[in-house]
Amino acid sequence: MPKNEAAWLVAKHRPLEVRNAPYTEPGPHEIVVRNRAVAINPVDWAKPFVGDMMFSWIKYPFVLGSDLAGEVAAIGSAVTGFKPGDRVLAIAAGMGEKCNRAAESAFQRYTVVRPHLTTAIPDSMSFEDACVIPLGIVTAACGLFQSDLLALEKPGARPEPRDRWVIVWGGATSVGCNAIQLAVAAGYDVVTIASPKNHDYMRKLGAAHAFDYRSRSVERDIVATLKGKQLAGALAIGAGSVDNCVRILAQCEGRKFVANCSSPLSIDVLARGDRLRLGRMVAIVPSLVLANLRTRRLSRRYGIPAKFFDASSVFDNEIGPAIFRDYLGAALADGRFRPAPPPRVVGHGLKDIQKAFDIQRQGVSASKIVVTVD
């Protein structure tokens, strides 16, 4: 049996510790991946930093991590379409409430994954590139295509032009880079909002127009650009962006719905100090409550629904197969979809994942923090 090792979270507010981990054989409908590269998301460092207020179902010791790429090590008896040795990427379900299983998390050598959340990658694609995709694409796809959110038409090989526009606020985030590509692949035109240094990159990913979120006239400029055009809705990524999107949609034509994946509190506010202490939490709660009330009031005033969503819905709904089985493999193979934002490899081996958390916590701009797994 292969020897497994994991970067364990042994208790809240503690750095990760690399220790042996059980090797879990795949169940009939599962695959085991030998991980070669993993990517870090804000939620990974936020869990140990915040403690039990986040992912309260997680009991210690636990393994974190959602984004992985590697080789198929073993398949369950009912799995079709994959074989040992295949190069794949997958979203790891371990941290999700319904799963809550360390064997299904990414920060270890061997992870149990689900076939409908796994995609073969081309031989020419590095594992470091591939592992930037999973949580970003899943979150973007839920917001854009889920029936209770924007419910857009799904992406295809030759999308029909829909002559409808989608606003992706936060295009340079990991979620945003995936959302721009998916919306364009589904035939929509995209307006996005990011720092000016990333505007060329936003256009390379397919956005028709890019605006600066720090500009005082950003909302006015977007409304002017979208004059006479039909909207299909907005995906709000980043703290506070839901309010910007509601105000913009209120002045545009077409579908008026905002799918929001971010809390009202910027991650920068959360990331100060060595952990979220009680005093700071007490100081933060009123601003969280006020921000939520403000959004609700704005949404009611303009009659524009603004719905928060959590991408863990992908573990059991139709979006997983629509993306991982029906779209992504072929789109990566012929270059229609590219891994974005680009990886910034900051470490080699599970021991470097803690260092990678610290780097992600400092903030990134159109890049994904990646660690290779030996």
Ligand X SMILES: NC(=O)c1ccc[n+]([C@@H]2O[C@H](COP(=O)([O-])OP(=O)(O)OC[C@H]3O[C@@H](n4cnc5c(N)ncnc54)[C@H](OP(=O)(O)O)[C@@H]3O)[C@@H](O)[C@H]2O)c1
Q: Is the peptide bond before 61 cis (omega within 30 degrees of 0)?
A: yes
Minimum distance of ligand X from residue 202's CB (angstroms): 8
User: What is the three-state SS of 353-370?
Assistant: HHHHHHHHHCCCCCCEEE
Minimum distance of ligand X from residue 11's CB (angstroms): 23
Label residues 88-121 b or e (16+ Cβ within 10 Å = b). bbbbbbbbbeebbbbbbbbbbbbbbbbbbbbbbb
Neighbours of 128 (CB within 10 A): 21
Contact positions toward ligand X, by CB under 6 A?
41-42, 135-136, 139, 169-170, 172-175, 193-195, 198, 213, 237-238, 241, 261-262, 310-311, 364-366
Minimum distance of ligand X from residue 199's CB (angstroms): 9
Tell me the C-alpha distance between 253 and 335, whole Å: 33
Residue number with CB closer to ligand X (45 or 62): 45
Residue number with CB closer to ligand X (253 or 310): 310
Minimum distance of ligand X from residue 362's CB (angstroms): 10
Residue number with CB closer to ligand X (87 or 209): 209
The identity of residue 269, as a single letter, is: V
Residue number with CB closer to ligand X (39 or 120): 39
Residue number with CB closer to ligand X (193 or 331): 193
Judged on CB neighbours under 10 Å (0-12, 13-18, 19+), 313 is: middle
Residue number with CB closer to ligand X (103 or 235): 235
- From the CA atom positions of the chain, what is the Rg in Å? 20
3-state secondary structure of 345: strand
Minimum distance of ligand X from residue 173's CB (angstroms): 3
Beta bridge partners of 31: 75, 113
Minimum distance of ligand X from residue 364's CB (angstroms): 5
The identity of residue 8, as a single letter, is: W
331: left (phi over 0), alpha (psi -120 to 50) or beta: alpha
